[in-house]
A and B are shown apart, each in its own frame.
Chain A
């Protein structure tokens, strides 16, 4: 899923300081699972904003709503009739949702309410870690199912570097060394010999390097 983290409330308050009618808009997908932008967090942020307005003696109307998804026009249409009541929206969706909402409501300021961080998984409640950088050309088949692009701090294709220490990365003893994980996994798969296969230069044109990406699927297009 897309993992997001809370934005400091001061930053959100600063964005909203000139607005009087605000919609806090959550999303029921990834950001709900990672507890950053679902219905619950919408409620918490809206209350904090109301309290702040009271403290500052301002008259501000703050509404709450959580859509099924903000990365889908169909769901974004649900606010078409009510959007005119607001002079600003704080979207607690990922960066995709913020932008898609802004595209639908062109003359409305849509502010991000979270920091979109990575594609990852839930380790345990309250802990999420990165797994994928969406490079557009998956090499997991050759690396024992562990991604060096997303999980090695130097994205080495032929690692590990000389800084790998007792399973941890040189940048931080809290971070697993991706190449230690790869070696362990190749061993478990009885494929350690594959370690010596040279990984060719990567074609980054399917990555961010190639410019904004697009997937067109003729087979599913209508």
Chain B
């Protein structure tokens, strides 16, 4: 199938393979070794690596610099970009900067509120929102123009993604919201971490009823639980996260030293179940500060070896 960009992720998806992506958070300092190591660890098991953009509003090394680093190592980064910290001038400018290093994937987000982070007294920008950012990148790529209308000298060839959270409220607009992102021009979606598989499948049913799975690639998001504590924290403290009681009970059912293994097992089982879900085009495995487990999960879930994407 023909691709619209040089993105390897796009190629793999359009060729009909189940894609595998993962993500890494940049360091809280200028020492980049950490992200280089993470990249090395998972590069053979994933098709692309998201680099988060000051996630949970904790200030970190910028996503763009970390993406460039991965690109220089020959890896395929996905530039996450939030609208919280940049106005439309900065967003367009960073998109062009990323494109100049052949970063071919972008994930458009609005970002967690700054009150969660280390600069809770800071101002937020929110000049445009995540859906408008999707429109902006597509406009730049497809029309070859700035938002202001001037011609670009060189278009950003980016495969455009966004997040979707099937578990946030109000549930009834979660399918229409995806439709809205598609109308804005989104080409791939990475979902919020899925623990409530029934609810995810219900959402996917609604997605299929409107044929939305044929209009964008949906990558199911998964994060292995490390412990009961983590599961409870996610359930109670992370907004928009749906962790059913069964998940907690199952982890409680094994001794403390084995909870992490159980979490990995549950993650693999979820992938196996969702492989059968029509419309799921791949998996986004977010092993938070636990990247070394990604290869094991990918292999056990039968997603290895990865296609070469050429």
**Interfacial residues, chain A to chain B (CB-CB below 8 A):** 153-167, 170-172, 177, 180, 183-184, 192, 195-196, 198-202, 204
Contacts and interface: CB of A to CB of B under 8 A. Distances in A.
A165 B239 contact: yes
B176 A164 contact: no
A17 to B, nearest CB: 27
B176 A196 contact: yes
A31 B262 CA distance: 59
A195 to B, nearest CB: 6
B60 interface: no
Contacts, number: 97
B112 A158 contact: no
A160 B130 CA distance: 11
Interface stretch (B8-16, B37-45, B162-170, B287-295): B162-170
A159 B110 CA distance: 10
Contacts of B239: 162-165, 170
A216 B169 CA distance: 43
Interface of B: 83-84, 88, 110-113, 115, 124, 126-132, 135-136, 147, 163-165, 168-170, 172-173, 176-177, 179-180, 183-184, 192, 239-240
B167 to A, nearest CB: 8
Given A158-B129, A162-B164, 19 more contacts: A153-B113, A154-B126, A156-B126, A157-B129, A157-B132, A158-B184, A159-B129, A160-B169, A163-B239, A164-B169, A164-B170, A165-B169, A166-B169, A180-B170, A183-B173, A192-B173, A198-B135, A199-B132, A201-B88
B170 A163 contact: no
Given A170-B113, A170-B239, A171-B115, A158 B170 contact: no
B132 A158 contact: yes
Nearest to A155: B126
A163 B130 CA distance: 14
Contacts of A177: 169
A171 B120 CA distance: 11
Interface centre among B112, B113, B127, B169 (most CB of A within 10 A): B169
A167 to B, nearest CB: 7
24 contacts: A154-B84, A154-B111, A155-B129, A156-B126, A156-B130, A160-B177, A161-B130, A161-B168, A162-B164, A162-B239, A164-B170, A164-B240, A165-B168, A165-B169, A165-B239, A170-B112, A170-B113, A170-B239, A170-B240, A183-B170, A196-B180, A196-B183, A198-B131, A201-B136
Most buried by A among B132, B173, B176, B240: B173
Contact of B240 (A165, A184, A195, A198): A165
Contacts of A157: 128-129, 131-132
A165 B112 CA distance: 14
A198 B147 CA distance: 16
B283 to A, nearest CB: 18
Given A156-B126, A177-B169, A198-B184, A161 B110 contact: yes
Contact of B113 (A154, A160, A165): A154
Given A154-B113, A154-B124, A195-B176, A162 B129 contact: no
Interface centre among A164, A167, A192 (most CB of B within 10 A): A164
B227 to A, nearest CB: 23
Instruction: Name the 8 nearest CB pairs between A and B, nearest first.
Output: A162-B165, A170-B239, A163-B239, A158-B131, A156-B129, A162-B240, A163-B240, A162-B168
A157 B239 CA distance: 20
Nearest to A204: B127
Nearest to B165: A162
A109 B256 CA distance: 66
A154 B179 CA distance: 21
A163 B172 CA distance: 15
A113 B253 CA distance: 60
A196 B169 CA distance: 16
Contacts of A165: 168-169, 239-240
Given A163-B240, A167-B169, A154 B180 contact: no
Contact of A171 (B113, B135, B176): B113
A70 B95 CA distance: 48
